[in-house]
Structure 1
Amino acid sequence: MGQVFWPNSVAAEYECRGYWRRQLLGDLPKKWAARHGDRVAVVDDHRSLTYAELAAITERTAARLLRSGLRDGDNLVLQLPNSCEFVALLLGCMRAGIAPVMALPQYREHELVHLVRTTDAAAIAVAGQDRGCDYEQLAHRVAEMSDRRCRVLVAGEPGLPASVSLRPALERRPTAAREEADGTGTPPDLPSPLPDDLALLLLSGGTTSGAPKLIGRTHNDYEYNFRRMAELCGFDERTVYLAVLPAGHNFTLGCPGVLGALSAGGKVVLVSSPAPEAAFAAIDRHAVTATALVPSLAQRWLDSVAGTRSDAFGLALVQVGGARCPESVVTGLQGAFGCTVQQVFGMAEGLLNCTRLDDPARIVRGTQGRPISPGDEIRVVDAEGRPAERGELLTRGPYTPRGYFRGGTHNSRSFTADGWYRTGDIVRRHPSGNLVVEGRTKDLINRNGEKISAAEVEDLACLIPGVRAAVAVPVPDPATGERLGLGVVLRHGNGLDLDQVRTFLTGKGVARFKLPEYLHVLPEIPLTPLGKPDKKKVRDFLLADRSVETV
């Protein structure tokens, strides 16, 4: 257990109003196949699958997982790159009643151990070796630190005898004899979860108290999440959606993303690199019509076309989210690609806001949209909780859970007693009714849409020999939005440089995107009148110090 559910009366209202359709996500591939059959559903750098093939592989993968010793109700840490295997394993998990935990490919021991222990995961599924990382070896190291038996499942050919291969289930058309030998045939007793059961676990962008929190999403609420977004984005059978950001991100997965495109009968193209040359080649090859970017990646794309008109690609829609998008980037995308741009402001905790496809250009450039559902409730409040035109955004609704998965004391801080989620985002209401994001109350660094917990970095930095205290702060940057700066106080007689900090944290298994990019040695931590670390002063020191170390 650990999931916080909506009150029964609220759940009944959401069903009555048609938001929740009691649709099991693991049953969707069969329904999609019945409608779209031999049309291509997903394609990656190496293979493609039709809707019929995806449905068959979903069933075989579910069977393989259960015959490997997993059970209905288990959790599985899913760490695969953008690929057909990712989609098939995601759906296979949900067909078997197993909740996939969306781990990012750049995660290492530090993050993965937290996920495994918090979710009591029964397995970790990885790709084997990819981009210089031996994920199979990494998974076994993490599994050894689990509090229970944790299996290592490999989408490719295992390199270690203790690993379980998923390849037989993920092949396009294994023979009946092969299915029998490898135990991938569909047994007659695949479980049937309930629509309000846990379907998957997304990760928060980070917290003020350390490692990311887990967000349990049910079949009911997440199906509505991507269905409603697909409606607003005009997705249909002609849609070709390009997944360039990690598919495990909520934005790429269900806003409307991979699942929204499939639910509309479109085609999903998954690429392993978001670099302009790789993405543009995929757009051209597959006649891509829609994609989703973070602002920094959008700027990279713009830089690569150098102001030339590139609408020959046929891109109809580019979503930009993950961080507030500069107006210049919105205008640049419209000019360079001749596409509609949609700003998306949302969170894995639920609430999604977006500009509409027919909004005036000034609204698209200057706001982050409005809630997608009539069932979304929002409040903007000041520090005392009073209604305000500018203040913290609170929300609740049909796809915003009422608490974190096994959230403990986090839930009492982040959710009110009557179910309002405190987003930590500072917004103001635009005359159009849309929201404009102006900052946040939570202590996070937003680098390329990845939210880095300052507290987590500070705790890790204090493990470095010779460091007495540490303060992590965001440093404004036009390319990434923010970069991670670190101020440290050293014990007497010690020295420290940025390379040493990054080497130490890498040795601790910390993801690369969490490594500090600036370092400043402080005599003492500056304090506010209330005795709290004055992070504004630390940031100012970093900005003013001409000898600041950077990478």
Structure 2
Amino acid sequence: MNVPVSRTEPVTATRTFTDALQHAAARRTEPAVWDAGRWRTWRDCLEQAERAAAALHRRGLVAGDVLAARLPDSWELVVLHAATARLGVLLLPLHGAHGTRETQRLIEQSGAVALAAAAFQRGHDRTGEILTLRERCPGLRHVWVSTAGAARPDTGGLPDLAELFDADPDAVPGAYPDADADPALRLPPAPADPRTPLMLLASSGTTSQRPKLCVHSHGGLLGNAAAVAADGGLGAADTIVSASPLSHAFGLLSVHLALVTGGAVGLVDGWDPSRFAAALEAAGATAAFAVPAQLRDLIALLEGGTEASGPPVRTLREVRTGGAPVPRELADGVRRTLGARLVVQWGMTEVGAGTYTRPGDRPEAVGTVGRPVSGAAVRILGRDGRPAAPGETGELQYRSPYMFSGYHLDPELTRAAFTADGWLRTGDRAALEPDGSVVHRGRADELINRGGLKFSALEVEELLDDLPQLAQHAIVPRPDPRLGQRSCLIVALREGTHMTLDDITAHLLTKGLATYKLPEQLVVLDQLPTTVTGKIARARLRAIPLPPLPAHPSRRAPERTPDEREPQR
């Protein structure tokens, strides 16, 4: 019997991050990193990273330590990435959308000994949150605050991150003036083995109750980028600008692609379609990364303008997207409005770029998420655990030399993630086309995908368990034409009680939940369907007709189903 497996030949990456940075600095003397209108070279990055690594080492950070960073996509974050790689310290980039609660749990789970955080980010003063984290996380030996972008810098008494970047540029690389007197101050050699851990990335399936931190090596992440570049024809002449943050594997790929090809990367923090379009033009982008919801915003902006003289970014050749379904009309809009080809990608934090369409694929290939990255393989298993027939939907399992090595400090979760023969259980459902392309059929678990930001419904439900008004409650995804999905809270109230969406929102915000995880609709039923064991029957719950989602989510009053009757008293 032929087992439906899609595989490609590997692309070998033997470089560590520091090796790749040195190579890029030697082969490209022109500008390579664009941030807020300013260009810098890979040589600038290499030299500043060396000084920052020395400053970190002098403060006691050593190989194997974890440094958490809640910073905007910026030159600072790229240099810190390079500095931790040089020292053998694992970088844990934290999502800017995370609240204090999520951030605290990730810091605790990672065992981070240091935190670098922005005092002012996306219009909000975060100094109070940083001080709270410093108090609640006793394992943090160092906390630095970046005041970049703050009108009135106030670090709350914490040291400024600039002290790591302002080390003496005339100092001998790898040593301090007093290193002879104290050899412990001498900067150790950079990691030489590509299998050395490089960074931790929080999995999309992470909940604040049990964070899942993927351990990625130098060779894994850079090998994945090298394979993507080889498959997609990206090279030193390309400039990549990502709308996805560098705390996501999708956004981080843009930096790694530029590094391994010796190309360039443009950095944009936060989503604003006008600002992103301007950045594409200013950086001379040849490739853009954006999730479908962002592409919809960008197309609406550009098609609503008055310019009709051609594509708004004339250098743009390719748009790469993923993280949510890509309907044909969106693909057509990208080609029509941006004048660029569309590459559709599927990936996970555990695997990086997993599958994607190729530049030479026919337009109808957009209905798939392409074929595996070179060196990787995909297989589909049916419910009985046997290989699914071509075209049959089943469990998507994945294997790649670039995958994560496991979940940080959690061998139990790591063992559960893999089959006995070494395939990753992705939790997704898919089918294989005859040419090896993968047709994605959605997730098998309860993740909600809001515009590419994924979160667990269970996490939000658990935070509502202590509300006495709720007899039953469940979070379910509702389809949305722009964001892909939005969350709806369905509840059964205890007799004589009342609750509004505002009440729910206030309760969750006091617990530090990120705003993108908040329910956007409240529906009240007499009773939620349950299984014979008393658990909520989610499949039956999703089949119940519900009122339309509000175009502009209201947080004032619950909505009731059209055929709902008042409960018997």
Give TM-score, length-normalised by structure 1.
0.89
- Give the equivalent residue in structure 2 for 1:235: 234
Q: Secondary structure at the match of 1:63?
A: helix
One-letter identity of the residue aligned with 2:57: L
User: What does 1:90-169 align with in structure 2 at a 5 Å threshold?
Assistant: 90-156=81-147, 159-160=154-155, 162-169=157-164
Shift of 1:232: 2.0
The residue number in structure 2 matching 1:7 is none
The one-letter code of the counterpart of 1:23 is R
Partner residue, 1:356? 358
**Residue 493 (structure 2) pairs with residue 490 (structure 1):** yes
Equivalent position amino acid for 1:452 in 2: F
User: Secondary structure, in 3 states, of the residue corresponding to 2:266?
Assistant: strand
**Is contact 2:17–2:82 with CA below 8 Å preserved after alignment?**
yes
- CA distance 1:72–1:463, shift in 2 (3 Å): same
**Partner of 1:3 in structure 2?**
none
8 Å contact kept, 1:518–1:542: no
Residue 393 (structure 1) shift: 0.5
Residue-by-residue CA offset, 1:429-475 (whole Å, 9 max, x unaligned): 12332011112211111111111101101101223353343211101
Cα separation, partners in 2 of 1:402 and 1:76, compared to 1, 3 Å: closer
Let me know the Cα RMSD of the aligned residues: 2.8
1:305–1:416 Cα change, 3 Å: same
Q: Say which is worse superposed, 331-340 or 488-497, in terms of deviation.
A: 488-497
- Secondary structure of the 1:148 match is coil
Q: Give the 3 Å change call, closer, same or farther, for CA 182–515 of structure 1 in structure 2.
A: farther
Q: Is the 8 A contact 1:243 1:269 kept in 2?
A: yes
Residue 18 of structure 1: how far off its partner (Å): 7.0
Which whole-Å CA distance do the structure 2 matches of 1:69 and 1:463 have between them?
42
Residues 103-129 of structure 1: CA deviation (Å, up to 9, x unaligned): 111112111111111111101111221
**What's the CA shift for 1:141?**
1.2
Structure number with the bigger relative contact order (C-alpha 8 A, sep ≥ 6) is 2
What is the SS of the residue equivalent to 2:489? Answer: strand
Aligned partner of 1:59 in structure 2 is: 50
Give the equivalent residue in structure 1 for 2:430.
Answer: 427
- Alignment partner, residue 26 of structure 1: 18
% same residue: 33
Could you report, residue by residue, the CA deviation over 1:194-251 in whole angstroms, capped at 9, with x for unpaired residues? 4222111112112589554111101121110111112222222221111222122101
Mark the CA change 1:286 to 1:182 in structure 2 (over 3 Å): closer, same or farther. farther
| Correspondence for 1:266 among 263, 266, 270 | 263
Q: Which moved more, 1:393-402 or 1:286-295?
A: 393-402
| 113-122 or 159-168: bigger deviation | 159-168
Aligned partner of 2:514 in structure 1 is 511
The C-alpha deviation readout for 1:302-351, integer Å capped at 9, x for no partner, is: 11122767524121000010112111111110111111110001111116
Q: What does 1:147-296 correspond to in 2, within 5 Å?
A: 147-156=138-147, 159-160=154-155, 162-170=157-165, 174=169, 188-193=186-191, 194-207=193-206, 211-254=210-253, 257-296=254-293
1:411 is displaced (CA, Å) by 2.8
2:60 to 59, 69, 72: 69
Offset at 1:80?
A: 0.8
Give the drift of 1:182: 13
- Which structure's CA Rg is the greater one? 2
**Consecutive unaligned residues in structure 1, runs of 5 or more:** 1-16
Secondary structure class of the residue paired with 1:543: coil
> Which is further off, 339-348 or 260-269?
260-269
TM-score, scaled to structure 2: 0.86
State the distance in 1 between where 2:312 and 2:547 align.
45
Distance 2:309 2:534 in 1: 54
Report how far residue 517 of structure 1 moved.
0.6
Q: In the alignment, what sits opposite 1:4?
A: none
Residues 1:470 and 2:473 aligned together: yes
Residue of structure 1 in register with 2:299 after alignment: 302
CA distance in 1, matches of 2:550, 2:274: 35
